[in-house]
Amino acid sequence: MTRNMGKTDRALRVIVAVVLLVLAIAGIIPAGLLKILAVIVALVFIVTSLIGTCPLYTIVGIRTCPRS
């Protein structure tokens, strides 16, 4: 897969993921479906940031990575 996420986009995703995980672990996000969704979103953000490719961006045609 080709990268379609720039450094800023990847960094913001990691920050949002960490915040969501901290809120879920600290109990600020109540237990239940909302907590599960927050953890899933955080994990997806971390994985997509690590690989530099967002499948949704590919479908929509968005590219935040500078073309080489």
State the pLDDT at residue 66.
86
State the pLDDT at residue 68.
63
Q: What is the pTM of this model?
A: 0.88
Instruction: Examine the pLDDT at 19 and tell me if it is beyond 90.
Output: yes
| Angstrom distances, CA of residue 63 to CA of 12, 14, 28, 31, 32 | 15, 18, 34, 35, 34
Per-residue model confidence as pLDDT tens digits over 30-39: 999 999 999 9
Average pLDDT over residues 42-54: 96
Hey, what are 40's tokens?
């899933």
Q: Work out the pLDDT band at 2, boundaries 50, 70, 90.
A: confident
